[in-house]
Structure 1
Amino acid sequence: MAEYLSPGVYVEEFESGAQPLEGASTSTAGFIGLAQRGAVEGLPQLVTSIAEFQRVFGSYLSENAFGSYRFLAYAVDQFFTNGGSRCYVMRVAPSDAKPASNTTPESAVLAFTAKNPGAWGNQIRIGIVPSSKAKTQIYEVLGTPGESKRYRVKNNAGFNPGDVVAFDDGTGKQYNRILSSQDNLIELESPLAGEADVVDNQLLPSKVLTTSEFTIHIFSGDEIETFEKLSLNVSAANHVDKILARSGIVTAQDLSQGTAGEAIAPFTVISGLPEESGKYDVIFGGGSDGSLANLSAGDFMGEDRGPGKRTGIQAFIDNDVVSIMAVPGVTDPNVQLALVAHCENLGSRFAILDIPREKTKVADVMTHRNIFDSSYCAMYNPWLQVFDPLDKRNIFIPPSGTVAGIYSRSDQTRGVQKAPANEVLRGVVGLEVQYNKGEQDILNPAGVNLIRHFTGQGTRVWGARTCSSNGLWKYVNVRRLFIFLEESIKNGTNWVVFEPNNDQLWARVQRTIDAFLTRVWRDGALLGNSASEAFYINIGRETMTQDDIDNGRLVCVIGVAPVKPAEFVIFRITQKTGSE
């Protein structure tokens, strides 16, 4: 409580009304699959366009090298083509994939390694050139000439203990190492030769003392990184290990002996060439994409190695933004079941599953469908024919990426309450299999959503069912609407935690949720002619016991009436007779 110690007028702010509650995003997708490059552990990478995907993860993969596991890039491309705006991507790589590294002689001093595994790293090129971060002139030799190692300079800024320096008198360079540098006084490791001639008080000096560093230029495709004025001095802020930690292309490890031994220019230590040579090129090799024989379901399922070290599906545990998940083209039941379990455990996302390409007959499709029973996933078939920019021909790809884009598009244009069906597929020129109405009569009740072609109407998603046997959750939009409501309420009521659990708080919580659900009802997501018919909110003594209150629990019971799609449109027509 505020203290009032002197007479006066005090103005105070306090919150008493409902807190604004913002709806959670439902249109952000998460994809897992093989790519040319990219991190294989840690946090999934945000991608907002196919161009950005190609910068981070590389281009399309060839069928000969990657077979049926190559569809990540195509799925992301289709996601954006069909209306998606942002997604997170996690790369998977075979266990025998290796990062490229420098194989030329400088590797004994600086060990460069590509940031992540793959043959892409073999194309990395590094150029090293000499540079200097500071120079000054010597004003005075302190001590006995010929023996003293201490010098008064014009400005010692940038000269750090352990740095290699070069003294240039116009006829040649001699290298030394700094022992101490303070108050414009520099002490070197050994006296400079010809100390009587090192002093230069001219306005435009001809004799200068300079630090000796090197600059690294890193090239990978269209990417260029430049790190200037690096040092092999371990104690310096510009030590190569510290600065190259910011690189998105390579990692570096200094294997030199630090400040030990003879003072030699870092460029010469690395390359074996004098600084006058101007440039040294580093060549990479040894990078490998691995083999499909070493790729297993476990690589996609991932491992939980702790925060920042998770792989595969497990990497998305650290991501609380994604609401749609897919592993494009990977139809191994172990992987798909792991993805569904991930979505069920978190309760905040929905999985889109592909059916194996070879399973086109109704009986075969049903065999794969019967593996699953969950309201947190939906299954789509058949595969789609699209243009392949890599091979310059039409190929068939799994539908999950395209459908994820349709989910996102439908959410943004109509809302999550609209079933993501009867929507046109963009960028799709054909279907691998054209199912008829009789076949869909069997597959639709079982929860297999077909993609069909209709004359004059293009190719459309023609189903909106989950893989659940529970009739309450058989529609995709109902489950995703509840995910939206639950996440919105959870995210928008964090302010309630640790507040006094009393009538005033209960009233504020009720007003907050009531305002949010009223807006959702007006947007057409809930049934009813009035808000009271669409939802109810119970909070207070009728939902909490004294034991709940004593143990710090606030219990709020909410009931909503979701809208459901008009899946079967029935017009009953009869003949009107003259006597009627």
Structure 2
Amino acid sequence: MTFVPKSPGVYFREIPSGARTIVGASTSIAAFVGGFPRGPLDTPLRMFGQADFGNAFGGLNSDYPTSFAVSQFFLNGGGQAYGVRVSPDATAALLVMNDTSNQPTLRATAGRQVGGVSLDDPGEWGDAIRIDVDTITPDPTTQFNLTVSEVLDEDGIEVAQRTEVYRNLTLTAGPRNALDVVNGASTIVQLSRDAGWAANGLPTPTGFYSGAITLGDLAGITAANDIDVDLGAGSETVSVPFASPPTTLAEAASGLQAGLRAAFPADRLWAQLTVSVVGDRLRIVPGRASPDYDPGTVISIADNVSDLASRLAIDAAARANVEQYAPSNTAAAFQSTATAGSDGAANAAADLRGDRATRTGFYALDDVRGFNMLSIPEASELGSVANLASVMSAAATYCTEKRAMLFIDPPEDTDTIEEAEDWLGQIADAGLRTPNTVTYYPLVHLPDPGSENRPRPFAPSGTMAGVWARTDRQTGVWKAPAGIAARLTNVIALDHVMTDQENGVINPLGMNALRNFDIPGNVSWGARTLVGADLLASDWKYIPVRRMALFIESSLYDGLQWAVFQPNDEPLWNEMRGAVTAFMQGLFRQGAFQGASPRDAYIVKCDSETTTQADINAGIVNLFVGFAPLRPAEFVIVSIQLQISQDA
């Protein structure tokens, strides 16, 4: 737009340079779909390493082969991945806490918030949830503290492996509303309330609480007192000596704690109990690092032969609750519901495939911006090629749409080259030979922590996805992820140690070999797609060539969005041509193409020859990009000539 000055002076105009930068798309984001011990269902979660994997999906688990694929991806050099948990029959652990009138007031369900939405996190892992409640707050009538733990059983003793503490929560609207605070931060539970619970009070504090105590009550305590302690499984008579009557609640708490602790063996939970002061009450909480600890235990204390219990207001208005709220508790005291979690049954083909309309199965990946590799290890365990194909045919179409590669793993009983050939023929008949599909043979043996690290066979896709990512980082997507540098980390052995002759059988068929050599160890020794069979003579025979094309397509798709709805004429064509040429020249300088000069390596054309007037009238601009790919040196031929000495 022309600028017309209205008065004398100095004016500045910022003029766009017209230069557009195209940034290379990611090439090594992996996606894994299958069963995990924990995690929201049909919801993609992003991971950047083993720690994220543990927090999101529970880490390695012997019952879930997909967990080993994810772990192998990171161990072999992968940096970013998405996981989708599929387990339609799994149920979430939950519990309901009651107020002091024994009316339900707060529900805690195993889960987390993803994208601002509270989601269940089903599975047996939720049975390890423990919740403590107390009212040691500035206003005990409206505020409470919540401590949420996930415990681990170590030799019969519960040990908290992670704990979340939320203080000064309320059940009313405001900045400390319990549902808003906990649901937005917790990775263990999500809180909820039913409509009819609105008028109910705060959740009852856990442990044992005395009634209100006055200083006059303390003055009547005698030097030696007996008190009955009921742990639910029997009653003990305990002597609680006081050298002199306590003068403060703190002294009463200290004396009671000392007497109770001394009466029991050191390894029992009562020997580790704590007596504290909460307002005008005493709170008694047994120790938890003990083999006889049970979060559902409801303790009670009663007078025996002295007036100690009544003096400490234990009989009058005392409140005995569960030691901790837990899904494993049977409904007792002030917990009205206890529902254990369930892992559900093994996934079927329909579960892994899912449905696009509801974004389940691998279609849940519609919710992520992009991925480059897809692994579904459980598909190879479905019992037949027909079941495998029912998942993988849809997955292959999906990956073509998403410009991603799909790993197809052989089943566990593929033990010989003949069986591998037969299986490869069956998946070919099922239509799974596409430019975006790839397979590796044999299976890899990995240490299983669930069986004292004894090796077990697993699908190779997770390992190879990591090798691909490592190769991309070290060299580029144009480099074949194979050779002595493509070592397989954490692979103890291969299911089948191939000879060169056996390798020569499957390689021309488009199946990639995993080999063992004396010095480099276990390595990837093939770089063909499933259309890489020699008889097919496909342009997409090699993995790096296909992935390079997908990389360029994805980069230009993202980098040319600015051109949509621009005037379709020479200025636009020049800008597009300049941006794409700069991008391709950058790749050429990195050694991504064949050719000694840019002219030999690539071509970019966008002008009146590619875009005719008819195209312009139809709103179309045509850009032509060609490149000379680097193909891997599969066969290195060395010719040796015997030189005859002239002196002979």
**Structures share a fold, TM > 0.5?**
yes
**In structure 1, distance between residues paired with 2:556 and 2:169:** 51
**Which residue does 1:266 correspond to in 2?**
202
Take 1:367 and 1:574, find their aligned partners in 2: how far apart are those partners? 41
- Residue 439 of structure 2 aligns with which residue? 379
Determine if contact 1:232/1:258 at 8 Å carries over to the other structure.
no
Q: 2:340 aligns with which of 280, 287, 291?
A: 287
**Match for residue 481 of structure 1 among 534, 537, 548:** 548
What is the match of residue 417 of structure 2?
362
Distance 2:4 2:162 in 1: 60
Of the three residues 123, 126, 131, the one matched with 1:121 is 126
Contact 2:105 2:197 survives alignment (8 Å): no
Distance 1:259 1:321, change over 3 A: closer
SS of match in other structure, 2:574: helix
Identity over the aligned pairs, expressed in percent?
Answer: 31
- Consecutive unaligned residues in structure 2, runs of 5 or more: 112-120, 152-160, 212-277, 286-320, 329-338, 381-387
Instruction: Tell me the amino acid that sits aligned with residue 126 of structure 2.
Output: G
| Distance in 2 between residues matched to 1:7 and 1:551, nearest whole Å | 47
CA deviation map 1:134-188 (0-9, x unaligned): 6xxxxxxxxxxxxxxxxxxxxxxxxxxxxxxxxxxxxxxxxxxxxxxxxxxxxxx
Distance 1:98 1:498 in 2: 49
Structure 2 counterpart of 1:445, from 486, 508, 512 = 508
Q: For residues 359 and 231 of structure 1, do their structure 2 counterparts lie closer, same or farther at Cα, with a shift above 3 Å needed?
A: same
TM-superposed deviation, 1:446: 0.9
Aligned to 1:214: 144
Give the structure 1 partner of residue 66 of structure 2.
Answer: 72
Greater CA drift, 6-15 or 558-567: 6-15
Q: Retained in 2: the 8 A contact 1:131–1:212?
A: no
Q: Which whole-Å CA distance do the structure 2 matches of 1:452 and 1:497 have between them?
A: 48
Q: State the one-letter code of the partner of 1:373.
A: R
CA contact (8 A) 1:36 1:289 kept: no
Cα 1:578/1:259, change in 2 over 3 Å: closer
SS at 1:527's partner residue?
Answer: coil
Structure 1: tracts of 5 or more residues without a match? 135-209
Deviation at 1:529, TM superposition (A): 1.3
Contact 2:105 2:202 in 1 (8 A): no
Taking a change above 3 Å as real, the CA distance of residues 478 and 255 of structure 1, as seen in their structure-2 partners, is: same
Q: C-alpha displacement at 1:434, in angstroms?
A: 1.2
Structure 1 residue 494 corresponds to structure 2 residue 561: yes
Shift of 1:125: 0.8
**Deviation (angstroms), 1:259:** 6.1
Alignment of 1:372-451 (within 5 A): 372-392=432-452, 393-422=454-483, 423-451=486-514
CA distance in 2, matches of 1:3, 1:390: 78
1:300 lines up with 2:352 in the alignment: yes
TM-score by length of 1: 0.78
CA 1:436–1:503 in 2, change beyond 3 Å: closer, same or farther? same
What is the DSSP-based 3-state SS (H/G/I as helix, E as strand, rest coil) of the residue aligned with 1:387? strand
Q: Per the alignment, in what secondary structure is the counterpart of residue 72 of structure 2?
A: helix
Q: Which range is displaced more, 99-108 or 392-401? A: 99-108
Counterparts of residues 411-560 of structure 1 (less than 5 Å):
411-422=472-483, 423-468=486-531, 469-560=536-627
2:167 to 228, 232, 236: 228
**2:37·2:343 contact (CA, 8 Å) conserved in 1?**
no
The answer for the alignment partner of 1:344 in structure 2 is 400
Aligned equivalents of 1:538 and 1:368: distance in 2? 44
**Would the aligned equivalents of 1:38 and 1:57 in 2 still touch at CA under 8 Å?**
yes
Q: Distance in 2 between matches of 1:547 and 1:288?
A: 63
Hey, what does 2:117 align to over in structure 1?
none
Residue-by-residue CA offset, 1:117-143 (whole Å, 9 max, x unaligned): 100001001111115566xxxxxxxxx
1:108 is displaced (CA, Å) by 2.4
Q: Which residue of 1 aligns with 2:95?
A: 102
CA–CA separation in structure 2 for the residues paired with 1:565 and 1:460: 16
Match of 2:258 in 1: none
Q: Secondary structure at the match of 1:517?
A: helix
- Count the aligned residue pairs: 488
Distance across 2 between alignment mates of 1:227 and 1:321: 36
CA distance in 2, matches of 1:353, 1:15: 48
The C-alpha deviation readout for 1:425-472, integer Å capped at 9, x for no partner, is: 122221111122222222111111010111223111111000014521
Structure-1 residue corresponding to 2:245: none
- The answer as to whether partners of 1:302 and 1:311 remain within 8 angstroms in 2 is yes
Aligned residue in 1 for 2:240: none
1:479 and 1:277 map into 2 onto residues whose CA distance is 72
> Structure 1 residue 415: deviation in Å?
0.7
Distance 1:103 1:212 in 2: 19
- How much has 1:405 moved relative to structure 2? 0.7
C-alpha separation between the residues in 1 aligned to 2:368 and 2:97? Answer: 40
**Structure 2: distance between partners of 1:390 and 1:301:** 28
From the superposition, tell whether residues 277 and 31 of structure 1 become closer, same or farther in structure 2 (CA, over 3 Å): farther
Please state whether the residue corresponding to 1:282 is helix, strand or coil: coil
1:227-248 residue CA offsets vs partner (Å, 9 max, x unmatched): 3322233x44543333333132
Distance 1:339 1:110, change over 3 A: same
Alignment-mate amino acid for residue 97 of structure 1:
A
Structure 1 residue 34: deviation in Å? 1.3
Q: Report if aligned partners of 1:117, 1:287 keep a CA contact under 8 Å in 2.
A: no
Residue among 66, 86, 101 paired with 1:92? 86
RMSD, aligned CA: 2.6
Does the aligned pair in 2 maintain the 1:104–1:283 contact within 8 Å?
no
Partner of residue 190, structure 1 = none
Tell me, in whole angstroms, the C-alpha distance in 1 between the residues paired with 2:441 and 2:578.
44
Task: State how far apart, in whole Å, the 1-side matches of 2:544 and 2:395 are.
Answer: 19
Distance 1:425 1:269 in 2: 53
Q: 1:268 to 1:81 in 2, by over 3 A?
A: closer
AA aligned to 1:73 is S
- C-alpha deviations, 1:527-569, integer Å up to 9, x for none? 1111011111111211112232233322101111111011111
Scaled by the length of structure 2, the TM-score of the pair is 0.71
